[in-house]
Amino acid sequence: MNKDHQVDDNSKNKQLETFRARDYENPMTTNQGLKVSEDEHSLKAGTRGPTLMEDFHFREKMTHFDHERIPERVVHARGYAAHGEFELYESMKKYTKAGFLQEPGSKTPVFTRFSTVAGSRGSAETVRDVRGFAVKFYTEEGNYDLVGNNIPVFFIQDAIKFPDLVHAVKPEPHNEMPQAASAHDTFWDFIANNQESAHMIMWHMSDRAIPRSFRMMEGFGVHTYRFVNEQGESHFVKFHWKPKLGVHSLVWDEAQKISGKDPDFHRRDLWESIENGDFVEFELGVQLLEEKDEFKFDFDILDPTKIWPEEQIPVKIIGKMTLNRNVDNVFAETEQVAFHPGSVVPGIDFTNDPLLQGRLFSYTDTQLIRLGGPNFHELPINRPVCPFHNNQRDGYGRQTINVGQVSYHKNSLATNKPNTSSEQDGGYVHYQEKVEGRKVQARSDSFKDHFSQARLFWNSMSVPEKQHIIEAFSFEVGKVKDMNIRQQVVDMFANVDTDMATKVAQAVGVDAPKNATQSTITESSPALSQENKAKLPHTRKVAVLIADQFDDAVLEPFLKASLDAGMSIDIVSEQFGKLTGKNGATVEVDETFLTVHSVLYDALYIVGGQAKQPKKFEMDLADFVNEAYMHFKPIGAAPDAQKLLDQTNVKPGPGVLTDLTVSGDGKQWADTVAAHRFWDRKLYD
């Protein structure tokens, strides 16, 4: 790697450190630096008299408070973020001249924000929704923003329809309901009348829309971009983030209950993982396509409602992102960070994807209103690590103190500085693509197949995943009040699979589709099924259900094996305090049946305690266990816990380990927890 592109992985941290204010270590002052002698009582005319206008400290404090909030994002308002670094595995010099992709082993600071799309800033996090996945790379050539989602396609093909989509999915304007949900009339009316959304809706109805955590979902750049190398050669490229922990989801009933039990579930998971040293890792992959192959497929590579199947165009893993530091202040960092797909570096360029082209305008526009003007790039979280120089001056929120007379180009007073740079010196030059055509408001015929890839997605799902899609459609469309819209949706998705649509029709009370033209696609893409992703026990959260006089000879090796496998353990009982085992060992209770619930855990281990337990303990434990069993989670029970297990609905079968005494590395237990769900469990025999 050239020295010009070497990145100190601590450079962004050092820069941010200069902006951090440790107020509690210093005397209180006004914003002008004047030390404050009183901060609890305003200045009055007598102890019971009116407040005086000359109390400048009161006025400053109240004015700042009255203006503390900024407009939330129109979409992606509910988000959480973390700092980290990106390490390159393999040089991409053959494909791109982007400096941070040249030298294997080089590290680049990053800031990554995850989000829901539809809900307001205060909405719950486990709703059925797309998740934003935005990464800011602080490179030595400037900031590069990869602004994507956890689903590789989108609802629409042209950005001019984005306001319509968002208006439809947001709460309905006449009653401002429902919050953060797509299960209502206006959304499904939009879908039925904008059938380019078919592929995206199949993903949206799948388990991908209710991820287990931000750490266990894929990320995608969605659009087709360009890599351009030093020789000016171009390759089309799509970006993928692959979580090292695999791709896992909640079940719908569980997701709804978590929204009530802990609406901060996803952000808490991210925060606690990093605080515990379980740093979050994603590998970056790229799909690369030569220009000569642009038209060799049965889909248009520029269509944002289409994937490039990985079996046809493999994903090349080129690096790893590690999120290893939580934010210090959510507002200053997570809320004020400004992402923009137009923030690129030399070697990364755009294509004619009509959705991408519209985003290049919209993102700047929205930051102007949210962050108070054109100087949002000077906020600490948005500042590049490299210096920036231009003739832009003034405006709201300006922090740079420019010196000299000149604020224009060309000039002689400053010997025509700052200078532009040639391509050889790192100046950004747009790829010279030949473009010809009449000015039209139209769409290429190559964009008009809306159902083939929706069918490909359906074909790629496992049997449980298909059932979840049917149930998701049944829930969402069942919430639609207008029966005509219900019928339109059923008829639309008969083009994907008539059997699926018929089952949904039966569930929502409309006619089975007639004269449907089901897609004839028979291929599948195994890469699309979550069942084919990595399954690891690492960071899985396990609740140990326990009472006094527990079998410590069983508990101690279980805890050791679970912790050695990287699991996170909570001791859960009826009340806080210490519990004592049969042989005198003690454990501290982390949570109670009142403060947590089964839906917040990935697996349970029932230890119990003395032979006769209070009835309330037995009832609370049974409720805890039954919920986990209904959600297909791993359940283990120690030998002494069999009587407690007999009082639950749990039946012997997949994912249920009775008389579980863990020894050695606890491989059986670790493998069971890693499996995540046991869909072949018979719940209603």
Alpha-carbon Rg for the chain in angstroms: 28
> Which residue out of 57, 76, 240, 340 is catalytically annotated?
76
Average pLDDT over residues 276-283: 97
> Residue 1: is its pLDDT beyond 60?
no
What pLDDT, on the 0 to 100 scale, is given for residue 662?
85
Hey, what CATH topology would domain 536-674 get? Rossmann fold (3.40.50)
> Residue 3: is its pLDDT beyond 50?
no
**pLDDT band at residue 435 using 50, 70 and 90 as cut-offs:** confident
d(CA 196, CA 192): 9
Rounded to 5°, the CA angle 610-611-615 comes to: 95
If one counts every other C-beta atom within 10 angstroms of the C-beta of residue 175, the result is: 7
d(CA 525, CA 454): 12
Average pLDDT over residues 581-587: 94
Tokens of 530: 């979550």
What pLDDT, on the 0 to 100 scale, is given for residue 6?
43
CA–CA distances in Å: residue 402 to residues 143, 378, 420, 446, 672:
22, 13, 18, 51, 62
**pLDDT band at residue 17 using 50, 70 and 90 as cut-offs:** confident
544: helix, coil or strand? strand
What pLDDT, on the 0 to 100 scale, is given for residue 14?
73
**pLDDT band at residue 434 using 50, 70 and 90 as cut-offs:** confident
What are 80-128's pLDDT values in tens digits?
999 999 999 999 999 999 999 999 999 999 999 999 999 999 999 999 9
Is 149 catalytic? The answer is: yes
d(CA 519, CA 493): 10
Give me the DSSP letters along 466-479: HHHHHHHHHHHHHT
Query: Are 628 and 635 in contact, with CB atoms under 8 Å apart?
Result: yes
**pLDDT band at residue 502 using 50, 70 and 90 as cut-offs:** very high
Tokens of 390: 């231009």
The gap from C-alpha 360 to its chain's centroid, in whole angstroms, comes to: 21
Q: Which of 162, 113, 145 is nearest to 350 (CA)?
A: 145
What pLDDT, on the 0 to 100 scale, is given for residue 9?
52
From first CA to last CA, the distance across the chain in angstroms is 63
- % of residues, the chain, pLDDT over 90: 86
What are 601-626's pLDDT values in tens digits?
999 999 999 877 889 999 999 999 99
The answer for residues whose C-beta is within 8 angstroms of residue 318's C-beta and 6 or more apart is 88, 89, 90, 92, 101, 284, 285, 286
Q: Half-sphere exposure of residue 27, counting CA atoms within 13 Å on the CB side?
A: 8
Tokens of 327: 């934010």
One-letter amino acid of 243? P
Residue linked to tokens 């082993």: 105
Greatest CA separation for the chain? 92
Tokens of 411: 């000039």
d(CA 197, CA 418): 47
What pLDDT, on the 0 to 100 scale, is given for residue 24?
72
Residue linked to tokens 């719908």: 252
Average pLDDT over residues 357-380: 92
**pLDDT band at residue 7 using 50, 70 and 90 as cut-offs:** very low
Domain ranges of the chain: 79-194+213-382, 452-531, 536-674
Best-predicted range by mean pLDDT among 14-28, 294-308, 431-445? Answer: 294-308
What pLDDT, on the 0 to 100 scale, is given for residue 391?
87
**pLDDT band at residue 21 using 50, 70 and 90 as cut-offs:** low
> Which residue out of 5, 57, 83, 149 is catalytically annotated?
149
> Residue 306: is its pLDDT beyond 70?
yes
Hey, what CATH topology would domain 79-194+213-382 get? Catalase HpII,  Chain A, domain 1 (2.40.180)
Tokens of 120: 């307001």
> Residue 508: is its pLDDT beyond 50?
yes
**pLDDT band at residue 685 using 50, 70 and 90 as cut-offs:** low
> Residue 468: is its pLDDT beyond 70?
yes
What are 195-209's pLDDT values in tens digits?
999 999 999 999 999
What are 146-169's pLDDT values in tens digits?
999 999 999 999 999 999 999 999
What pLDDT, on the 0 to 100 scale, is given for residue 300?
97
| Domain 452-531: homologous superfamily in CATH | Catalase, four-helical domain (1.20.1370.20)
Q: Following CA atoms 645, 646, 650, 653 in sequence, which dihedral angle do they give, to the nearest 10 degrees?
A: 90
Is 76 catalytic? The answer is: yes
Average pLDDT over residues 42-66: 93
Number of H helices, E strands in the chain: 16, 18
On the 0-12 / 13-18 / 19+ scale of CB atoms within 10 A, 124 is: buried
What pLDDT, on the 0 to 100 scale, is given for residue 2?
37
What pLDDT, on the 0 to 100 scale, is given for residue 416?
87
Q: Half-sphere exposure of residue 537, counting CA atoms within 13 Å on the CB side?
A: 21
